[in-house]
A and B are shown apart, each in its own frame.
Chain A
Amino acid sequence: MSEGYAQPPTAGLPGNVAIHGPGDPHDGHSHPHHPKLQHHFDDMAQQAEASTLGMWVFLVTEIMFFGGLFMAYLMYRWANPDGFQEASAHLSIWLGGFNTAVLIFSSLTMAMAVRAAQTSAPPKTQVGWLLGTIALGLVFLVVKYFEYAEKFSHNLVPGPNFVWEGQYANAAEIFYSIYFCMTGLHALHMIIGIGIMAVITWMAWRRQFDATYYTPVEVSGLYWHFVDIVWIFLFPLLYLIGRHYGAH
């Protein structure tokens, strides 16, 4: 690091700074660039890389965000294994399993949508895959709605109206608190994801994406896949606790 001190400035420029020659891409608009290139980036590659990396850093925050809930789940399940088992049995394994398949399918359609943009597929193709993803997301939410409605009508919502007929009422109430917090937060992320997809779909319809620029599709895809991954963990942890004692 200490290579001696910098030379005194010459011609108004410090010694450790070199200037580019004329016609250099950095000295203003001397060359055409992609209309979507933001000016603080050097080129599209840097912009795309920064955007995907930025989304990954954001997803890390989402991992830690959901992670707090997973921590609560971990501790309470460790402390109340039988109570959690009893409580989990009331969840419908078929609805949960179906929803898992729906989300996995939606990840496929999402990957295909990114690929379509990546390969400069016609807008109709891109929009098709994106609409498919949205549709599957909506199916997931509809199923979730029915699950929640059933919980409400069976007094399984924690709080003053909570009624539990099994042996471990307290543990069950904690289980359902965590259930609603985790699946509720997940559903909220799904809704946001569908909103984002709607915007991306509109942009794709307006021919904004091709092989030279498809970053928004890729970055939204990353978000969508992440929400799928959360469910990949939620399903077994909430729905499949000790089913071998008799399914419901």
Chain B
Amino acid sequence: MATLNYLNNGHGLASWLLTKDHKRIALLYLASITAFFFIGGLFAFMIRLELLTPAGDVMTPENYNKMFTMHGVVMVFFFLIPSIPAVLGNFLLPIMLGCKDLAFPRINLLSWYIYVLGGIFTLVAALSGGVDTGWTFYTPYSTAAANSHVITAALGVFITGFSSILTGLNFIITTHRMRAPGMTWFRLPLFVWAHYATSLIMILGTPVIAITVLLVAAERVLHFGIFDPALGGDPILFQHLFWFYSHPAVYIMILPAMGVVSELVQAFSRKNIFGYSFIAFSSLAIAIIGFLVWGHHIFVAGQSVYAGMIFSVITFLVAVPSAIKVFNWVATIYRGSVSLDSPMLYAFGFIGLFTIGGLTGLFLAAMGLDIHVHDTYFVVAHFHYIMVGGAIMGYLGGLHYWWPKMTGRLYPEAWAKFAALLVFVGFNLTFFPQFLVGYLGMPRRYHMYPPEFQVFNVLSTAGATVLAVGYLLPMVYFAYSLARGERAPADPWGAKGLEWEIPSPPPTENFPVTPIVTHGTHQYAPSKEVGVV
């Protein structure tokens, strides 16, 4: 019954593993990223299990170190960084630009294989005994002392970095040179602006961590002494080089989610975004200013006070464009015709939780306060509010919103609403107590803690269990939708945008004829039209 579309255009494993179609590559990524998400989640489960009780009674301290390290490495490099760009970005960017594919389809496929190869290296590191250095691989522990599989894991990160670079490269060239006629920069969806800014970070930052982990491997294998204090080397140099990438990396993780939210608030408020150009320029500002703040990770490690002051001030500045976005989203929703479909629930969750996470970032940006909360659970809560309360909610919201487009099926909305609720409740129960217990002094990366902190940890583990159920449910109902879901029309949400003007699922070449764009593609009715008699 189904017409020819990208899903049934070509059958068999080879047509998928050798595809050049950006939409199929997006699904390849979806599968592998989901797998890594649950692997990372497994490590998180082990952490929360150990932290149920104050004593270190579930596993040895060394194994606990491996748990939080592997949780961090897998979640950061194999889930958060690729997730939205590689799945939603790959699928939607060409369609939103009005072209047939990304500029370099074969490089797109290559990027997936590189991602998988890096993932294999990391899994091998995990299975052969794990890494215990923390996902930050700080020297001299990682170069001189650690007995674990640092090189394998470092190589896994190195390899996967190239996947990121190739994705960013493809997005930049496509956005610059392959827009449909009439698609000027200021007619682009904000989702595209967000991914463009993200791609800039991928290109400019990722190579630095690549060379840094390579140097760690060189020091371990060849005993080159670049970070070795015994030779006059400086471990802080490692931290500068590491964080030069890893701080902008967090903007790689959040910018695409912000792009998703910009789309969602428009669609589900039936209203044009408030302050389009402010949001577009804010995306660029976040990307650029985000490269100037990395020293706020090194405040207490030995960096000079004056450099710390510079980094602290700029860190306060980088909050401004993010805040501008939050204000503009709220202004969009205000007096809109709001429908609380499941993607919008995730968008609301994002706005609230990202705001909390972002504000607590300002606490950390203040050097004096950072001295008190550095390396405590306050920091852990801060970045989980942004990464999980922000980025993952954005990812799930986008996945729900564009699921009908990608698969041609509608998922059961009631279940989706329920799952969103579980995620929201579970998330806050997991991570809000961590702000409190961190402020009270519980250090991070410790497998045991004083008994007076137990109640917070029990709440956190309980929340994590609820959160896990909330994350598992979409697996179930999305799978169900593939088998028995109602067939989706081209525009199930009544949304605006080029992607909603082609069938669900789209044909392989996206557009039968190249669209010519004559005005902005997101034109919603002004709210005063609603209810006009």
Decide yes or no whether B145 CB sits under 8 A from chain A.
Answer: no
Q: A24-B513, A64-B204 are in contact. Are A1 and B186 (CB under 8 A)?
A: yes
A117 to B248, CA, bound (A): 41
* Binding-face segment, A3-11, A143-151, A210-218: A3-11
Q: A3-B523, A20-B514 are in contact. Are A170 and B204 (CB under 8 A)?
A: no
The answer to whether A16 touches B173 (Cβ under 8 A) is no
- Within B184-243, which residues are at the interface with A (CB < 8 Å)? 186-187, 203-208, 210-212, 215, 218, 222-226, 231-234, 237, 240-241
Among A5, A19, A26, A66, contact of B523 (Cβ-Cβ < 8 Å): A5
The answer to whether A17 touches B100 (Cβ under 8 A) is no
Interface size range of chain A in the complex: 35 or more
Q: Which of A13, A65, A68, A181 has the most CB of B within 10 A?
A: A68
The answer to whether B205 touches A17 (Cβ under 8 A) is no
Q: A17-B501, A69-B211, A181-B218 are in contact. Are A6 and B233 (CB under 8 A)?
A: no
A61 to B232, CA, bound (A): 29
Decide yes or no whether B37 CB sits under 8 A from chain A.
Answer: no
Which residues on the A side are within 8 Å of B522 (C-beta)?
1
Which residues on the A side are within 8 Å of B222 (C-beta)?
158-159
Name the residue of chain A whose CB is nearest to the CB of B199.
A57
The answer to whether B231 touches A40 (Cβ under 8 A) is no
Per-residue CB proximity of B76-109 to A under 8 Å, as 1/0?
A: 0000000000000000000000011111110000
Among B173, B207, B232, B241, contact of A171 (Cβ-Cβ < 8 Å): B232
Decide yes or no whether B412 CB sits under 8 A from chain A.
Answer: no
The answer to whether B208 touches A46 (Cβ under 8 A) is no
The answer to whether A170 touches B100 (Cβ under 8 A) is no
The answer to whether B208 touches A68 (Cβ under 8 A) is yes
Which residues on the A side are within 8 Å of B203 (C-beta)?
57, 60-61, 64
The answer to whether B169 touches A16 (Cβ under 8 A) is no
Decide yes or no whether A39 CB sits under 8 A from chain B.
Answer: yes
* Binding-face segment, A107-115, A172-180, A190-198, A240-248: A172-180
The answer to whether B223 touches A80 (Cβ under 8 A) is no
The answer to whether B523 touches A6 (Cβ under 8 A) is yes
- Within B477-533, which residues are at the interface with A (CB < 8 Å)? 496, 501, 512-526, 529
Name the residue of chain B whose CB is nearest to the CB of A64.
B207
The A interface, classified by DSSP as helix, strand, loop or mixed, is: helix
Which residues on the A side are within 8 Å of B170 (C-beta)?
54
The answer to whether B207 touches A177 (Cβ under 8 A) is no
A154 to B168, CA, bound (A): 45
The answer to whether B205 touches A64 (Cβ under 8 A) is yes
Q: Which of B215, B226, B277 has the most CB of A within 10 A?
A: B226
Decide yes or no whether B11 CB sits under 8 A from chain A.
Answer: no
Decide yes or no whether A97 CB sits under 8 A from chain B.
Answer: no
The answer to whether B208 touches A72 (Cβ under 8 A) is no
Which residues on the B side are within 8 Å of A80 (C-beta)?
232
The answer to whether A1 touches B207 (Cβ under 8 A) is no
The answer to whether B515 touches A1 (Cβ under 8 A) is no
Decide yes or no whether B154 CB sits under 8 A from chain A.
Answer: no
Decide yes or no whether B293 CB sits under 8 A from chain A.
Answer: no
- Within A64-95, which residues are at the interface with B (CB < 8 Å)? 64-69, 71-72, 75-76, 79-80
Query: What is the total number of residues of chain B having a CB less than 8 Å from a CB of chain A?
Result: 61
Name the residue of chain B whose CB is nearest to the CB of A13.
B501
Which residues on the B side are within 8 Å of A79 (C-beta)?
232, 234
Decide yes or no whether A50 CB sits under 8 A from chain B.
Answer: yes
The answer to whether A68 touches B211 (Cβ under 8 A) is yes
Give A27 Cβ to nearest chain B Cβ, in Å: 6
Name the residue of chain B whose CB is nearest to the CB of A16.
B518
The answer to whether B520 touches A1 (Cβ under 8 A) is yes
The answer to whether A62 touches B224 (Cβ under 8 A) is no
Which residues on the A side are within 8 Å of B272 (C-beta)?
1-2
A3 to B104, CA, bound (A): 34
Which residues on the B side are within 8 Å of A178 (C-beta)?
226
Which residues on the B side are within 8 Å of A152 (C-beta)?
none
Name the residue of chain A whose CB is nearest to the CB of B221.
A159
Decide yes or no whether A236 CB sits under 8 A from chain B.
Answer: no
Per-residue CB proximity of B154-172 to A under 8 Å, as 1/0?
A: 0000000000010001101
Give B171 Cβ to nearest chain A Cβ, in Å: 10
Q: Which of A1, A38, A62 has the most CB of B within 10 A?
A: A1
Decide yes or no whether B110 CB sits under 8 A from chain A.
Answer: no
The answer to whether A174 touches B233 (Cβ under 8 A) is yes
Decide yes or no whether A139 CB sits under 8 A from chain B.
Answer: no
The answer to whether B224 touches A181 (Cβ under 8 A) is yes
Decide yes or no whether A53 CB sits under 8 A from chain B.
Answer: yes
Give B369 Cβ to nearest chain A Cβ, in Å: 29
Decide yes or no whether B176 CB sits under 8 A from chain A.
Answer: yes
Among B215, B234, B515, B525, contact of A17 (Cβ-Cβ < 8 Å): B515
The answer to whether B513 touches A20 (Cβ under 8 A) is yes
Q: A16-B521, A39-B100, A75-B237 are in contact. Are A60 and B223 (CB under 8 A)?
A: no
Which residues on the B side are within 8 Å of A58 (C-beta)?
165, 169
The answer to whether A26 touches B513 (Cβ under 8 A) is yes
A66 to B207, CA, bound (A): 8
A110 to B427, CA, bound (A): 58
A9 to B495, CA, bound (A): 13
Chain A interface (Cβ within 8 Å of chain B)?
A: 1-6, 9, 13-14, 16-20, 24, 26-27, 38-41, 46, 49-50, 53-54, 57-58, 60-69, 71-72, 75-76, 79-80, 158-160, 170-171, 173-174, 177-178, 180-181
Interchain residue pairs with CB less than 8 A apart (9)? A1-B186, A1-B272, A38-B105, A40-B102, A53-B176, A53-B177, A64-B203, A72-B226, A76-B226
Give 20 A-B pairs besides A1-B520, A6-B519 with Cβ atoms closer than 8 angstroms. Answer: A1-B522, A2-B272, A3-B519, A5-B496, A17-B501, A26-B513, A39-B100, A53-B173, A57-B173, A60-B203, A60-B204, A64-B203, A64-B204, A68-B208, A68-B210, A71-B240, A79-B234, A158-B224, A158-B225, A170-B231
